[in-house]
């Protein structure tokens, strides 16, 4: 059979090549096109035929600087193909303008074009930048109205500007001395030369090549991050020194940043008044000023995230929580490159923060100097103590991500965690712990046991006058659950044996799946479908059955896969794609099915799901997990207090506690803000806040 298939395929290949060459030989096309056509129609390695693709569109004259009024023609070498194009930077389709004749260039423009022919694959998108030849080119001409320079790749000469910020010996920013009246074109630009030898206040003439350069960023920055327009300088001439800098643009007064929309048009329209991503691009390289800035997150990596003093925060502590349609585009980080600066959510500056707008690590930044910051005013935000009062008749359960905790954790952090459990959390009966590492932490020794890690925390809690908790978990297979390499991260439970009892039974292994039969779990504790592909390279949910005041409660600790690999909010892909969500939704389906199975066998079973789900209360992940069987208690928390984590100034909920419907009416919830809005100097012990519930078990 195999020989016959190969023989048949060979005959088909000969026919395709012969017919294709015959057709092309009678068409008015070049030999190059014939060769390409044949290459695209010859069988590929697995023995299937590929369909012909229309040849890419070409432009004449070639893109670059042209005289005003020049006529640009578009063409493709594929006969009888139709060309469609756009001139506003949007993606061309068969619904956009059909090419019927030369396009007259009157101003700087980006033409994008595709070629289409029935029965063939459409061409790749071709992009052509044209700029109008001018006697004098200014910085705003180079920046243009958009995220990419119309002069990209071209050499420019004697571009005049004043140095407004020196980043290092190789990079500085300069700003136009005679700005235009167009708010869409930035008046500043980055200049690279090694070394440059200039200082702030120098007036310079710069010659070199215009580039769109991606600055510092994460590993996949070329895929995710927007570039910064720069001149890769071949020559710099200083024509004057100690000159007065341009007046800064006052953010929140001269220009108001959008407070809800990051981007709503996939970059098709450059609209700084509507899109936050366009707003900051329109100020790239320029001096700006933020008056009486409000600090909405603790300092991290030498950056302080703020909003103008004239704009409103939306959390009780003075931060910005997210909602389904608002990820707070008004916030921006002040990059002072000093990790020792102490500031928390709710603090503010008294006076003006000044700096230059740049971009790195997937975000716009204000480059500034610590010594130039105005006075810091401490806010009233303080670490909280839970409002839940322990009682004999009610069960208290907490979820706490303790951030890569192991027996190797420094004693200061151990003390802060233990103090929080004893004093701030008032010693919950059951604590679902997230991010517990094996005994030697990140050391990749092959060990997976975490008993010593747990013992360190238990001992410290007791030494501070707390209960003597017991820890239970199931060690993962070595390096199978993701997290810090070598750490063998997992979830587990601390429980107070004076208050609750862990059901007697067989403890599961890393690969055994727990079930529910005869009103009890088949393993205790046991992992939920640990070999299911949904949990590949991530933490497996851990179920345990406890008895409190004679009543059974099944508690499931979770730690879903992280958001690593997602597109950033201010990245080059708009709208951003959240690739990681697909796996979390699969996880949610598995866990929800586990709940359904229990309820099918015991209708009013008391079920609690807790942990770090790495997603928001309004996300598809959490809606899938909740289903019709559960209530997410986080949704009962007032919006002004609804956050457990802070990412780049966005206060958000990643840690949740769900209860089965039959428990909801008798359950109260409290998010304890002791970490996410603070630095270690304030007592922070983790990057997550704990969540607590108290319930009357029936």
How high is the pLDDT of residue 48? 46
Q: Cα(562)–Cα(683) distance, rounded to whole angstroms?
A: 25
How much is the mean pLDDT over the chain? 93
3-state SS, residue 141: helix
State the pairing for strand pair 103-105/97-98: unpaired
pLDDT of residue 50: 53
Range 115-124 burial, b when 16+ CB lie within 10 A, else e: bbbeebebbe
Q: Three-class SS of residue 176?
A: coil
> Which residues does 80 contact at the CB level (< 8 Å), separation at least 6?
117
CB 315 within 8 A of CB 308: no
pLDDT digits (tens, 9 = 90+) for 430-440: 999 999 999 99
| pLDDT score recorded for residue 129 | 86
Residue 296 CA to residue 671 CA, distance in Å, equals 18
Is 653 buried (19+), middle (13-18) or exposed (0-12) by CB count in 10 A? buried
What integer pLDDT is reported at residue 41 of this predicted model?
Answer: 44
**Model pLDDT, residue 49:** 47
- Rounded Cα distance, 601 and 243, in Å: 80
Instruction: For residue 90, count CB atoms less than 10 angstroms from its CB and return exposed for 0-12, middle for 13-18, buried for 19 or more.
Output: middle
Give the other-Cβ count within 10 Å of 671's Cβ: 24
Instruction: Compute and round to an integer the Cα radius of gyration of the chain.
Output: 31
State the pLDDT at residue 104.
Answer: 96
Residue from 691, 694, 663, 662 nearest 676 by CA = 691
Tokens of 647: 């990412």
631 closest CA partner among 584, 670, 669 = 669
Read off φ and ψ for residue 524, nearest 5 degrees: -150, 110
Q: 112, 127 in Cβ contact below 8 A?
A: yes
State residue 113's pLDDT score.
96
Q: Of 258, 392, 384, whose CA–CA distance to 326 is shortest?
A: 258
pLDDT confidence of residue 132: 86
3-state secondary structure of 191: strand
Beta bridge partners, 173, equal 165, 190
Alpha-carbon distance 673 to 692, whole Å? 11
First-residue to last-residue Cα distance in the chain: 68
Whether residue 296 has a cis bond before it, omega within 30° of 0 = no
Q: Are 414 and 458 in contact (CB under 8 A)?
A: no
Q: Residue 195: is the preceding peptide bond cis (ω within 30°)?
A: yes
Res 76: pLDDT = 97
Q: Which two tokens stand for residue 101?
A: 């004749």
Residue reference for tokens 């229309």:
54
d(CA 462, CA 470): 11
Rounded Cα distance between 400 and 690, Å, is: 5
SS3 132: strand
Ranges of residues in the chain whose predicted pLDDT is under 50: 1-49
Distance CA 612, CA 622 (A): 11
**Looking at residue 352, what is its pLDDT?**
97
Judged by DSSP in three states, 431 sits in strand
């Amino acid at each position: 059979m195999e020989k016959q298939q190969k023989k048949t395929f060979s005959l088909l290949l000969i026919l395709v090549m012969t017919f294709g060459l015959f057709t092309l030989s009678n068409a008015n096309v070049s030999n190059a096109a014939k060769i390409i056509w044949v290459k695209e129609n010859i069988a590929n390695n697995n023995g299937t035929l590929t369909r012909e693709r229309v040849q890419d569109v070409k432009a004449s004259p070639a893109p670059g600087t042209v005289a005003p009024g020049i006529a640009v023609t578009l063409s493709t070498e594929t006969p009888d193909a139709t060309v469609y194009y756009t001139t506003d930077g949007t993606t061309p389709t068969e619904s956009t303008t059909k090419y019927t004749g030369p396009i007259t260039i009157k101003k700087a423009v980006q033409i994008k074009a595709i070629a289409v022919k029935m029965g063939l694959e459409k061409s790749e998108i071709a992009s052509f930048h044209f700029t109008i030849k001018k006697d004098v080119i200014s910085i705003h001409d180079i920046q243009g109205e958009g995220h990419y320079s119309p002069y990209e790749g071209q050499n420019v000469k004697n571009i005049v500007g004043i140095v407004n910020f020196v980043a290092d010996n190789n990079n500085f920013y300069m700003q136009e001395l005679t700005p235009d009246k167009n708010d869409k074109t930035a008046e500043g630009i980055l200049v690279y030369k090694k070394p440059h030898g200039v200082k702030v206040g120098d007036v310079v003439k710069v010659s070199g090549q215009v580039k769109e350069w991606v600055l510092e960023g994460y590993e996949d920055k070329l895929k995710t991050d927007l570039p910064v327009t720069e001149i890769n300088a071949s020559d710099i001439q200083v024509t004057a020194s100690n000159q007065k800098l341009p007046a800064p643009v006052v953010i929140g007064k001269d220009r108001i940043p959008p407070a809800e929309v990051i981007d709503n048009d996939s970059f098709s329209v450059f609209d700084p008044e509507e899109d936050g991503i366009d707003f900051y691009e329109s100020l790239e390289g320029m001096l700006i000023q933020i008056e009486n800035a409000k600090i909405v997150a603790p300092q991290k990596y030498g950056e302080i995230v703020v909003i103008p003093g004239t704009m409103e925060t939306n959390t009780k502590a003075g931060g910005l929580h997210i909602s389904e349609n608002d990820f707070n585009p008004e916030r921006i980080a002040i990059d002072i490159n000093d990790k020792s600066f102490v500031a928390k959510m709710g603090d503010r500056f008294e006076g003006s923060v000044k700096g230059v707008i740049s971009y790195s690590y997937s975000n716009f930044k204000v480059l500034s100097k610590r010594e130039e910051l105005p006075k810091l005013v401490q806010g009233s935000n303080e670490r909280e103590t839970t409002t839940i009062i322990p009682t004999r008749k009610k069960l208290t359960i907490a979820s706490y991500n303790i951030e890569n905790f192991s027996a190797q954790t420094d004693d200061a952090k151990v003390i802060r965690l233990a103090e929080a459990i004893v004093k701030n959390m008032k010693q919950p009966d059951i604590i679902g712990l997230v991010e517990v590492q094996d005994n030697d932490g990140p050391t990749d020794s092959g060990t997976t046991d975490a008993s010593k890690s747990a013992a360190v925390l238990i001992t410290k809690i007791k030494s501070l006058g707390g209960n003597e908790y017991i820890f239970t978990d199931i060690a993962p297979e070595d390096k199978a659950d993701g997290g810090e390499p070598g750490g063998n991260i997992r979830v587990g439970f601390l429980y107070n044996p004076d208050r609750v009892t862990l059901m007697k039974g067989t403890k599961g292994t890393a690969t055994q799946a727990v079930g529910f039969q005869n009103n009890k779990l088949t393993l205790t504790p046991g992992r939920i479908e640990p070999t299911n592909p949904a949990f590949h390279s991530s933490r497996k949910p851990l179920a345990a059955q406890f008895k409190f005041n004679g009543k059974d409660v099944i508690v499931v600790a979770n730690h879903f896969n992280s958001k690593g690999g997602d597109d950033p909010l201010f990245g080059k892909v708009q709208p951003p794609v959240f690739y990681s969500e697909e796996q979390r939704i699969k996880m949610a389906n598995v866990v929800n099915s586990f709940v359904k199975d229990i309820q099918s066998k015991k209708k009013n079973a008391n079920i609690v799901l807790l942990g770090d789900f790495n997603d928001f209360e309004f996300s598809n992940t959490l809606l899938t997990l909740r289903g019709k069987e559960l209530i997410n208690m986080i949704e009962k928390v007032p919006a002004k207090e609804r956050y457990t984590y802070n990412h780049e100034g966005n206060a958000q909920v990643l840690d949740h506690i769900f209860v089965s419907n039959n428990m909801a009416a008798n359950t109260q919830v409290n998010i304890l803000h002791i970490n996410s809005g603070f630095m270690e100097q304030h007592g922070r012990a983790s990057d997550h806040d704990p969540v607590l519930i108290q319930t009357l078990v029936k």
